[in-house]
Structure 1
Amino acid sequence: MLRFLARRSLGAIVILLLISAITFFLFFALPAEPARLACGKNCDPASLAIINKNLGLDQPVPVQYWDFMVGIFAGRDFPIGRCDAPCFGYSFVNQEPVWGTIVDRFPTTLSLAIGGAAVFLVVGVGIGMIAAWRRGTWIDKFFSSLSLLGQSMQIYFVGVLCLAWFVSGLSIMEQPAYHPITENPAKWFSGMVLPWLVLSLIFMANYSRMTRSQMVEQLQEDHVRTARAKGLSSRTVFFRYAWRGAIAPIVTIFGMDLGSLLGGAMITEYTFTLHGIGRLAVDSVRLTDLPMLMGVMLVSSGAIVVFNIVVDAVYAVIDPRVRLA
C-alpha cells in the first residue's frame, strides 16, 4: 500500500509543478502590464519602477518563477516586507499577502463544499437505489425523469430563481451569506442552506443516474444470481452483493467532485455572493493578479490531486487487485 501511494504522490507532485509552470509563463504572454495596473491611471515612470522592484517584476521571468517556487517552501524577502512560508507573494492589486487572503476565503468554500456534498451524495445515491429497487415501476420512471430534469438545470439559473422566490418573494429563507460556525452555528446553517440545496440539485442528478445504472448492472451479475439461488433474501442480495459492486464508480466521481468543489465552486459563489476561493479565482483573472491567481490555482489543483490520491487509496482497500496493477 505504501509503495502504491508513493507512486501516486510522486505523480501528483509532477502534475502540480507542470500546472504552476504553465500558469506562470502563460501569464507573461498576456499584453497587460501588472505593475501599471497596480500603479493606477496617473502613474509616472519612477513610481512604475518602484512597483516593479517591490513586486519582483524587474527580474527575468525564469528567475521570477524560481523565486516564487522557493518562496512556497522557504519564504521570501520583498522590499515591502518578509513573506514567511508558505509564501505565494503579495497581490498586485491590494498588496495583501496571497496566502493570508486564501486562508480567509477558504472556510466559505469549505462550508459550501462539505455541506453540498453531504446533501447530493445522500440524496442522489438514495434516489438511485430506490429507482433500481423499483426498476420498471412508476417510482423508477418518476425518479429517472427528475434526475434528467436536474441534470439539465444550471446553477446560475436555478440559483437566481430560488433567490427571487424564497428570499425576496416568500421571505422564508435568509439571504445566503457565510457566518463562521464557531461564532454562531445556527446563523452559519441558515446562511448556507440555500446554496447547499441548489448545488446539490445539480450534482445529485448525476449520482442518482450513476447509482441506478450501476445497481441494475450489478443485479445481473453471476455472483448476484448465485446469491439468489442460494435462497438469500432480496434485501440481502441488494445491499450486501449488488451495492458493494456498484460503489467503486460512485467513489470515483465523489472524490473528483469534492476535490473540485474545495478548489472553488465559482458559479455558485458568484450567484449567491459568497466570497470563497472560486470568486477569488475569477477576480484574480479579471484583475490580472498573478500571485493571487497562482495561489488559487495551486490550492485548487492540490485539492483535486489529493482527492484523486484518496480515491486511489479507497480503491486499493475495496479491490486488492488495484494495488497489484
Structure 2
Amino acid sequence: MIRYFMQRLLFACLVLVSLSVFVFFLFFVAPGDPARVVAGDKATEAQLEQIRENLGLDRPIIVQYGSFVSKAIQGDLGYSYRNQQPVLDLITRRIPATVSLVIGGVIVWLAIGIPIGVMSARNAGSKKDRLGQTFILIGLSFPTFVLGMLSLYCLYFLPRKAGFMLFPAGGYKPFLDNPADWAWHLVLPWTTLALVTAAIYARLTRGQLLQVLGEDYIRTARAKGISEGKVIYKHAMRATLTPLITQLGADIAFLLGGSIVIEQVYGLQGVGALAVQAVANQDRPIIIGVVMLGGLFIVMANIIVDLLYTLLDPRMR
C-alpha cells in the first residue's frame, strides 16, 4: 500500500514538473512583451528596459525557469502585472467563493443524479426509466450559461418585477459573516451547476448499474433470496461506485480550478472570474498561478481516487 502510494506521488510530481515547463514556455516565450503590458503603450524604451530588468526578463530562459520553479516551491507565484499584488494572495482571496460553489454543487448533483440513475436501472424499460432518461437528455442538452440566465430571469428578474425578492441576483457573501445569507446567495449557482452535472451522473449510474446487475454474482445473490434492496445497495452499488468516484474526482478538481461560466453568470468573484480578468488584462503571472493551481487540484484528486480504489476494490489491494 505504501509502495503504491509513493509511486503515485512520484508520478504526480512528474506531472506537475511537466506542467510547469509547459506553462512557463507557453507564457514567457510566447509572442508579446510583458514589460509593455506593465508600463502601457506610452512608455519609453528606457522605461521598458528597466521593467524587463526588474522582472528578470533580460536573463536567459533557463535561468528564468529555475527562478520560477524555486519561488513556486516556496509558495511565491510572483506579482500581478496590473496591481502589483502577490498572485498567491489574489488566488487565496478568491478560493472561498469557488470552494463554496463546488462543495454545494457536488452535494446537490449527487443527491439528484445517483437516485435517478438507480431508479432508471432498477426499472429498465418502464415509465420510471423513460422519465429518468428524459431528465438526462434535458440536462445534457442545456448549456450551463443558458440554464443560469434562465434561472436569473425566472427566479430573480420576474419576482423582483412583481415586487418581491425570491433570490438575490448573485455575488458571494462570506460564510462566517452570515451562514444563512451565504447559502441564500449560492442557491441559484448550486442549482445551475447541479442540474447539468446531475444528468451526467444519472446516465453514468444507470449504465454501470445495468451492467453490474447482469453479473453472475448478482443473480446468485437473488437466487439465495436476498432482498432486492440489499442486492442493489450492498452488492451492485459497490461495483458501480468505482467509475463514479473517477468522474467525481475529475469534476471536483476541474471546478476547483475555476468554474468560469457559473462565476461569470452569477457574479461570484472566484478563481474562474479571476482567470477571465487575467486573460483580458494579459496578466501572465495570474494566469500561470491559476493553471498551476488547477493542475495541483487534478493531481491531488487522482491520488485520492487511486487510494479510494484500494478500499472499494479488493483486487487493487
| 1:142 paired residue number | 131
Tell me how far apart the structure 1 counterparts of residues 72 and 294 of structure 2 sit (CA, whole Å). 15
Aligned length: 312
Tell me how far apart the structure 2 counterparts of residues 294 and 30 of structure 1 sit (CA, whole Å). 13
Q: CA contact under 8 A between 1:224 and 1:237: conserved in structure 2?
A: yes
Return the match for 1:223 from 195, 217, 222: 217
Displacement of 1:173: 1.0
| Structure ranking higher on relative contact order (CA contacts 8 Å, 6+ apart) | 2
Which 5+ residue runs of structure 2 have no aligned equivalent? Answer: 161-165
| 1:130 paired residue number | 119
Displacement of 1:50: 2.4
Alignment deviations for residues 269-306 of structure 1 (CA, whole Å, 9 cap, x no partner): 11212111112222222322221111111111100110
* Residues 1:67 and 2:67 are matched in the alignment: yes
| 2:309 paired residue number | 315
Tell me how far apart the structure 2 counterparts of residues 220 and 193 of structure 1 sit (CA, whole Å). 39
Q: CA contact under 8 A between 1:105 and 1:276: conserved in structure 2?
A: yes
Displacement of 1:212: 1.0
* Residues 1:117 and 2:106 are matched in the alignment: yes
Return the match for 2:255 from 241, 255, 261: 261
* Counterparts in 2 of 1:12 and 1:260: CA distance versus 1, 3 Å: same
Return the match for 1:246 from 240, 243, 247: 240
| 1:3 paired residue number | 3
Equivalent residues in 2 for 1:1-325 (5 A)?
1-73=1-73, 85-171=74-160, 172-323=166-317
Structure 1 stretch displaced more, 183-192 or 234-243: 234-243
Which 5+ residue runs of structure 1 have no aligned equivalent? Answer: 74-84
SS at 1:177's partner residue? coil
Tell me how far apart the structure 2 counterparts of residues 184 and 28 of structure 1 sit (CA, whole Å). 43
| 1:77 paired residue number | none
Per the normalisation by structure 1, the TM-score is 0.93
Tell me how far apart the structure 2 counterparts of residues 235 and 316 of structure 1 sit (CA, whole Å). 25
Tell me how far apart the structure 2 counterparts of residues 290 and 36 of structure 1 sit (CA, whole Å). 12
| 2:163 paired residue number | none
Tell me how far apart the structure 2 counterparts of residues 116 and 201 of structure 1 sit (CA, whole Å). 9
Displacement of 1:208: 0.4
Displacement of 1:13: 0.7
Tell me how far apart the structure 1 counterparts of residues 19 and 7 of structure 2 sit (CA, whole Å). 19
Tell me how far apart the structure 2 counterparts of residues 177 and 219 of structure 1 sit (CA, whole Å). 45
SS at 1:322's partner residue? coil
SS at 1:170's partner residue? helix
Displacement of 1:32: 1.5
Tell me how far apart the structure 2 counterparts of residues 61 and 285 of structure 1 sit (CA, whole Å). 23
Tell me how far apart the structure 2 counterparts of residues 165 and 239 of structure 1 sit (CA, whole Å). 38
Tell me how far apart the structure 2 counterparts of residues 274 and 236 of structure 1 sit (CA, whole Å). 43
Displacement of 1:3: 1.0
Q: CA contact under 8 A between 1:55 and 1:92: conserved in structure 2?
A: no
Give me the identity figure in percent: 39
Displacement of 1:149: 0.9
Tell me how far apart the structure 2 counterparts of residues 186 and 57 of structure 1 sit (CA, whole Å). 48
Letter in 2 for 1:87: D
Letter in 1 for 2:113: G
SS at 1:199's partner residue? helix
Tell me how far apart the structure 1 counterparts of residues 29 and 48 of structure 2 sit (CA, whole Å). 20
Alignment deviations for residues 94-153 of structure 1 (CA, whole Å, 9 cap, x no partner): 111001001001111101111111111121001111122222221110111111110111
SS at 1:26's partner residue? helix
Tell me how far apart the structure 2 counterparts of residues 280 and 148 of structure 1 sit (CA, whole Å). 32
Letter in 2 for 1:297: V
Extract structure 1 runs of 4+ deviating beyond 4 A. none
Q: CA contact under 8 A between 1:116 and 1:199: conserved in structure 2?
A: yes
Tell me how far apart the structure 2 counterparts of residues 268 and 119 of structure 1 sit (CA, whole Å). 15
